[in-house]
A and B are shown apart, each in its own frame.
Chain A
Amino acid sequence: MVQLIYLTTLLPLLGFLINGLFGSKIKNEKIIGILGSATIGISFLIVLGAFFQTLNMPPDQRQTIVNLFTWIKVGNFDVNISYQVDQLSLFMGLIVTGVGFIIHVYSIGYMHGDKGFGRFFAYLNLFIFAMMNLILGSNFLLLFLGWEGVGLCSYLLIGFWYDRKFEKGTTGDAAKKAFIVNRIGDFGFLLGIFLIYMTFGSLNFNDVFSRAASLTIPQYVSNFIALFLFIGAVGKSAQIPLYIWLPDAMAGPTPVSALIHAATMVTAGVYMVARCSILYASAPAIMELVAIVGALTAIFAASIGLVQNDIKKVLAYSTVSQLGYMFLALGVGAFSAALFHVMTHAFFKALLFLGAGSVIHGMHDEQNIQNYGGLKKYMPKTYITFLIASLAISGIPPLSGFFSKDEILWYSYTNGNIIYWLVGAITALLTAFYMFRLVSLTFDGKERFGHDKHPHESPSVMTIPLIILAVLSAVGGFIGIPEIFSGEHGNQLDNWFEPIFKPAQARIAMFGVHSNLEEIIFMVVTLAGVIGSIYAARYIYIKNIKPADSLAKRFNGIYGLLLNKYYVDEVYDAAIVTPIVKGSETVLWKFADVKLIDGLINGVANLIDKISGSIRKIQTGVAQFYALMMMLGIVVALFWIILSL
């Protein structure tokens, strides 16, 4: 199975080609949907087979390189299309193909009747193709190919309903914004790749990482490499200051939000930093930066999520916030914990989005939670699964989010400092609050929608995926039970990743020694706060709506600031976008190009024209005049000769 890993990119590619080229001719939704889903389902089975095969190998030999062909070769520069099957890529591959398959199936129901049905599945397959290249690539360039490829699919899918309006503009604006902001990150990523090649003389992971572990590199070079790569991660994984594209990405169909903008693509930055753990371990200052950016993003996005009224917007800011957690974990060197959260987050956030999709579906495209209310009796399956996901993301034991979040919080203290922990813990409280505000406003309380809406439960092709994800969200945490509960076996997930992160862990300062009692206290404190938060949200938003209003009134300024997302988009627009566009138009084009450069050249031409125009006047064509001039010339010449005699 390991040797067949290339099929996990080839099959989605085939699915893309078939549905893309012939989708409009096939027309039959069943054929398109089954074909599109089957390519991913089979890919999942292949990854699963490769996983078990790898599991049977000794831990330090669990890496297989599957080389396909030479991609770019010039002189010593030699990069192959080749895949690296190891603990990290298998872990990510299982998430991508597994969750991907579930979402594909869900989409058969969700996209039913859409005129772009074939195109949708084509793009979705293309996304999996790119994402698998991103994960499996054995060198930085192939990673970058996947990286840009998923960006493209994100672009295509955000703008999927290309003729619809979205907020102040169109879906096309949101799509373009996503691609361009990501390109700003890619700019950094590319510089990182160049510097890596300069420094290590190769782009292959194995070469680069082994050399990074053994060679002595000047500190500033290590710092720049880590920094440049991190800029790429900040773009793709929507961290401050480049997170602005992700909330707008909600313009795409909801399964896309679930798959690309929650479960998989946005975690690519986390994957990349984890993959390059040794490069980061060599740059402690940048690790610190990663942690700070992560922590800030976590609390910042969560605060915005508190007041948003669009169901998908809340979830989008929640995603940004949760990704912040992952970077906080990476920054303190808890690579395994970050990946653990990638997985649990993929389960519960995909579930939340699909649940939101189910609600939107049942409410005829209404997305404002203020217009929901009391939906649990109309869509019980959606409600229960949504509730499980909300409990999971809030960190209620023993659901999956509890374990992964707790691990991150714990390491942010032991390996970072108390402030990281505090920021993380407050974020956890905010998370619980906005999630249960969302649940209460949507499913509980009075019905606030008009009589024209007839909420209904979604078909089973949509609810079965919800149930599967709910089970995963509930039990997924058990693969990473912390040592204090699991005893001598330790954390299974940490063990699995141990060979990958060993070189980096060896370079990072040892984890501080802390007692089990301390760990339990921290856990209990956070948990108590989270439960309090949930009760507060339920009290405010179910029992009595008024405190929320008066709260909003009393803190009008803050409320407005949050509601308008701190005006970051407006500031960017005024400070960056407008000056560049206006400057290019007035200064560069209309002045420099047309007036200055072209004016100068045309000016020279005019000057020549004028001079020759005046010279031309001498050539009157009157023979008498020429004769006269000739005579004069002869006379002058004669005089000159006579004088010089």
Chain B
Amino acid sequence: MTNNYLITLLLGVPLVGALLLLLIKKDKENLVRYFGLLVSTLTFIVSIIIYTGYDSAKGGFQLVETNMWISNLHISYNVGVDGISLLLVLLTTFLTPLTLLSSWKSINKNVKEFTFFMLLLELGMLGVFVSLDLFLFYIFWEAMLIPMYFIIGIWGGPRRIYASIKFFLFTMFGSLLMLVAIIWLAVYASGILGHFTTNLVELYTIAPNIPYGIQQWMFLAFALSFAIKVPIFPLHTWLPDAHVEAPTAGSVILAGVLLKMGTYGLLRFCLPLFPQAAIHFAPYISTLAIIGIIYGALVAMVQKDMKKLVAYSSVAHLGFVVLGIFAMTQESVQGAVIQMVNHGLSTGALFLLVGVLYDRMHTRLISDYGGIAKIVPVFATFFMIASLSSIGLPGLNGFVGEFLILLGTFKSPVLDSWWFAGFATSGVIFAAVYMLWLYQRVVFGEVKNPKLNEMKDMNKREIFILSAIFVFVIWIGIYPSTFLKVSETSTQKVIEQVFTPLNGEAK
């Protein structure tokens, strides 16, 4: 019980780091950059220590720390990780230093503020993943909006104000409903326990017994909030705008981590808290997910702006994750969890690569490029690997997740039809279409735009960032057991939580 404070340390490092950063003089930009990198790297190291301290065979919430916070409402500072959140924590702490490094040259106004907000953002994201108290979760969930709002609004593109407000309003709208549901849950719990509680572990035992009619409303309130974040079709229209206007680092974090908070929420709260409702709504949400897979891919195909293309592709990829969660089989849920990580890596890499192009040519229009394979061969190679990872080529990470999700969907007793997997599998065709078409138009062909001839290939810093990501792209593709093992018992537990009350009732 000596390392009880590890999670607090994980949250403390970026928080204290952000505060200390304020002491540095604004014009010492390089010092700010190095300090930000140092803090986020330290956070990464802490998360590695947490990983080594986590016993994945045992499963369940570990490294838990509980301190009563608002005692008369029984709201507690209750944090801990299980296999699912641990993988997402690792993804967050891994991507944050890389994004800071990627902004080394491209962010050169208000560097201090930028770094400050990035660290706060990291704190908010980590908080969301480690909270085991609904109230605490809600605070992190909302708090994280603020730095993201500023990152898009200050360092973004020309329509950044529109995009950031849209992003903010969409998310706020959903979370208000969630807040209502959280309060209702706490009140309901008080009827049984005799006191309010927002403690997730306590609620896990209480909530599934909520009358079915009310459960449905509770489920919907939570699910809507998460669905906006994922985003599930047709709630996705904030995403392309936010991505296009956000700076590279913002896009990477947005796609890499923020969207996962939605799918994480579905898995952590919606399924285990309201299992009957979740089963009831599974076919509907799965249908939306599949529409998202096909629709997102088709709309991605016809985009003129690279970032928009990748943004719409995220709608498709996250559709797979949502489908995996609501197919509710061990294979599909494991696939969904690993696919969350995969999407963070491959889409993160794609946004970084688009950023590399943008830094040089200051345009993201596909038609401005063409034939750059000859000019920037290293870039062309990296772009190919990232595209293939996104397409889901076997041997790379994306395949493992997609395959498990589709396999699980195929045999899902909840969905109970081949049609779901049948339609979803067609996504593999469309993914190839839009990615390879993009690749062809940007990299292959003759050089038509003479300005491209002066383009410089990727520098060592950029090569390092992407190589770090590709290590995991290949690792997960060839030996995913390292990661699947971490979440295996935890996903198993979620599935048990969903089906146990049902079985009890049936008997």
Contacts and interface: CB of A to CB of B under 8 A. Distances in A.
A605 B169 contact: yes
A597 B407 CA distance: 32
A75 interface: yes
Interface string B458-502: 000000000000000000001111001000100010000000000
A264 B310 CA distance: 35
B444 A172 contact: yes
B157 interface: no
Contacts of A589: 299, 302-303
Contacts of B432: 179-180, 183
A71 interface: yes
Nearest to A169: B445
A163 B422 contact: no
A159 B436 CA distance: 12
Interface of B is mostly: helix
A605 B479 CA distance: 48
Interface in A158-215: 159, 162-163, 170-173, 175-176, 179-180, 183-184, 186-187, 190-191, 193-195, 197-198
A175 B443 CA distance: 13
Report which residue of B388, B481, B492 has the largest number of chain A beta carbons within 10 angstroms of its beta carbon. Answer: B481
A73 B331 contact: no
A607 interface: no
Interface string B353-379: 000000000000000000101100100
Contact of B237 (A148, A191, A193, A597): A597
A517 interface: no
Contact of A581 (B302, B403, B406, B411): B302
A72 B403 contact: yes
B266 interface: no
Contact of B433 (A180, A583, A588, A601): A180
A74 B485 CA distance: 8
Nearest to B388: A152
Contacts of A171: 444
Contacts of A580: 298
A609 to B, nearest CB: 12
A144 B436 contact: no
Nearest to B410: A194
B400 interface: yes
A114 interface: no
A71 B426 CA distance: 24
A640 interface: no
Given A187-B429, A593-B299, A72 B400 contact: yes
A70 B395 contact: no
Nearest to A184: B429
A149 interface: yes
A408 B400 CA distance: 40
Nearest to B332: A74
Interface string A561-600: 0000000000000000000110111001100110001100
Interface in B295-327: 295, 298-299, 301-303
B428 A581 contact: no
B299 A190 contact: no
Contact of A72 (B301, B428, B484): B484
A352 to B, nearest CB: 29
A175 B444 CA distance: 10
B425 interface: yes
Interface residues of B, number: 53
A77 interface: yes
A277 to B, nearest CB: 24
Contacts of B303: 589
Contacts of A601: 170, 237
Contact of B479 (A69, A175, A597): A69
B437 interface: yes
A194 B395 contact: no
Given A77-B331, A581-B302, A173 B425 contact: no
A486 interface: no
A330 to B, nearest CB: 25
Contacts of A144: 394
A358 to B, nearest CB: 28
Given A71-B478, A180-B429, A580-B298, A194 B404 contact: no
A194 B407 contact: yes
A584 B309 CA distance: 13
A220 to B, nearest CB: 11
Contacts of A597: 234, 237
Interface in B107-143: none
Given A24-B377, A148-B394, A194 B406 contact: yes
B301 A175 contact: no
Nearest to A585: B302
B92 interface: no
Contacts of A426: none
A198 B411 contact: yes
B429 A581 contact: no
A145 interface: yes
Contacts of A588: 295, 298-299, 302
Contact of A183 (B169, B302, B406, B428): B428
Contacts of A73: 481, 484
Contacts of A180: 429, 432-433, 436
Nearest to A198: B411
Given A173-B440, A198-B411, A74 B330 contact: yes
B301 A581 contact: yes
B202 interface: no
B276 to A, nearest CB: 23
Interface string B178-194: 00000000000000000
Contacts of B428: 183, 186-187, 190
B429 A183 contact: yes
A152 B385 CA distance: 11
A586 to B, nearest CB: 9
A191 B444 contact: no
B452 interface: no
B207 to A, nearest CB: 26
Contacts of B298: 580, 583-584, 588
B446 interface: yes
A584 B299 contact: yes
A104 B334 CA distance: 42
B443 A162 contact: yes
B393 interface: yes
Contacts of A194: 406-407, 410-411, 421, 425
Contacts of A190: 403, 406, 425, 428
B480 A187 contact: no
Contact of A170 (B301, B407, B445): B445
Interface string B386-411: 00100001110001100110110011
Nearest to B333: A74
Interface of B: 169-170, 234, 237, 295, 298-299, 301-303, 330-331, 334-335, 371, 373-374, 377, 388, 393-395, 399-400, 403-404, 406-407, 410-411, 421-422, 425-426, 428-429, 432-433, 436-437, 440, 443-447, 478-481, 484, 488, 492
13 contacts: A71-B480, A72-B403, A72-B481, A74-B488, A159-B440, A159-B444, A162-B443, A163-B444, A191-B421, A193-B407, A194-B407, A583-B298, A593-B299
Interface of A: 24, 69-75, 77, 141, 144-145, 148-149, 152, 155, 159, 162-163, 170-173, 175-176, 179-180, 183-184, 186-187, 190-191, 193-195, 197-198, 580-581, 583-585, 588-589, 592-593, 597-598, 601, 605
Q: Which 4 A-B pairs have the closest CB atoms?
A: A172-B444, A145-B394, A585-B302, A584-B298
Given A155-B436, A170-B440, A186-B428, 6 more contacts: A73-B484, A74-B488, A163-B444, A588-B302, A598-B237, A601-B237
